[in-house]
Copies of this chain bind each other. A is one copy, B any other.
Amino acid sequence: MTTKQPTKHELRTQETRELLLGAAEQIFIRDGYEQAELGEIAELAGRTKGAIYGHFKSKEDIFLALVESHALSQRAAMRKHIESSTSIAANIAAFRQFFVDFAGDEKWPLLLLEFRLYTIRHPDAGERLQKVHEAIIRQDEESAYAALLGPAQKGKASVSRAAAVHAGLGMLSALQLEAKFSPLLVSQGTVKNIAGKVFDALFETK
């Protein structure tokens, strides 16, 4: 076996890291990046601030680690969905489902919004940001998406596949935000309806 037995230290480390990221998720979503307090995150995780700084370099670092972790699991989930599919039409259907589910999620969209705002306002946050971007964005996106979903329509008003994915996810984040903002007007059901419509419009799937 190449995987050696994990020691208790390693187990503890892993457990703490997950506890911290779990707590960070709650607090960052609830309070936003700036208002989130590391002390509260630690407390929620049953640890102290000292533990946070044993695992992460800074508040920024734990935030980015959280986004990265979400992105990776998100991507893995999607890959699984699509692996079992054989036709472009099926891919599109799977992708559509992913979109709708994404809009309906109450956590990830808000986290992504925070991340977008943070990134715009800290363009020099450095290499860590690069890694997170790579976890969200793929290389050579357009061809990858074209292979998945078929090429984009041609024409003046057409939108490339990659742009559609990005803009779509961004807009759906805001849709969930809106649902939280005016829950009476924009229910979770409405969110799903709208998400579907937007997907169809962006990817022009008759």
Contacts and interface: CB of A to CB of B under 8 A. Distances in A.
Interface of A: 30-32, 34-35, 113, 116-117, 119-121, 141, 157-160, 162-164, 166-167, 170-175, 177-178, 180-182, 185-186, 190-191, 193-194, 196-198, 200-202
Contact of A190 (B163, B177, B181): B163
Contacts of A166: 178, 181-182, 185-186
Contacts of A162: 185
Given A113-B174, A162-B185, A163-B186, 9 more contacts: A35-B121, A157-B193, A163-B185, A167-B194, A170-B175, A170-B177, A194-B202, A197-B202, A198-B201
State the oligomeric state as a number of copies.
4
Nearest to A179: B167
Contacts of A113: 113, 117, 174, 177
A31 B159 contact: no
B159 A170 contact: no
Contact of A34 (B32, B172, B181, B198): B32
